[in-house]
Homo-oligomer: A and B are copies of this chain.
Amino acid sequence: MKYDTRKDQIIQTSAILFQKKGFSAVTMRDIAKAMGIKAASLYNHIKSKQEILSEIIISLAEQFTEQMKIIKNSNDSSIDKLKQIVALHVNITSKNQFEMSSLNSDWMHLEAELEYYLKLRKNYENDFRSIIEKGIQDNELINGNPEVMLFSMLSTLRSLYIWLPKKEDLDIGKFTTELSLVLINGINK
């Protein structure tokens, strides 16, 4: 994420602090201190920790939602759609590693936006599931348990922020191909 504006910089700094200390333990004062500014100036840009959290999480959730709709509505095969979903997670995570950590660990601290976030997440899972179910129907995928297939893939994709190699060392295309191979074709020879 580029530091386009002071607000973006606040969000980025906060996401790093949330990961380090846990959302509940971070204060607006901590955020101001980490940025080397006074708490009073922080409040010129953003009104609460809750607003920061909402900016981080809802913005990411909407990016996932928007891209998922495009993938779902295309005419590609189910396998190709699943590969595009893997690429989507690798791309967003590689650009927003701390924000993805906050999305994963702190979503339950959302207040006004909690319901909206849960709706986006539910819809995302439903779209993902429908792609898997279509793949089973069309005989592209094994006749397995779609819930196990969904949550197995999704758990790995949602944990990417923890183990994705640091950006400098990462060949995103190669990594996406390797991960798709493991998630879709398995590891058994």
Contacts and interface: CB of A to CB of B under 8 A. Distances in A.
A105 interface: yes
A148 B182 CA distance: 8
Contact of A152 (B142, B148, B183): B183
Contacts of A188: 79, 140-142, 184-186
Nearest to A160: B155
Interface in A130-149: 132, 135, 139-142, 144-145, 147-149
A22 B22 CA distance: 9
Question: Can you tell how many copies of this chain the complex includes?
Answer: 2
A152 B139 contact: no
A155 B162 contact: yes
A126 to B, nearest CB: 15
Interface stretch (A30-38, A46-54, A57-65, A173-181): A173-181
Q: Is the interface of A mostly helix, strand, loop or mixed?
A: helix
Interface residues of A, number: 41
A23 interface: yes
A186 B185 contact: yes
A167 to B, nearest CB: 16
A109 B178 CA distance: 34
Given A145-B182, A156-B156, A159-B159, 19 more contacts: A22-B109, A79-B188, A140-B188, A142-B185, A142-B189, A145-B178, A148-B178, A148-B182, A149-B187, A151-B156, A152-B182, A152-B183, A155-B158, A155-B159, A155-B163, A158-B159, A184-B186, A185-B186, A186-B186
Interface of A: 22-25, 79, 105, 108-109, 132, 135, 139-142, 144-145, 147-149, 151-153, 155-156, 158-160, 162-163, 175, 178-179, 181-189
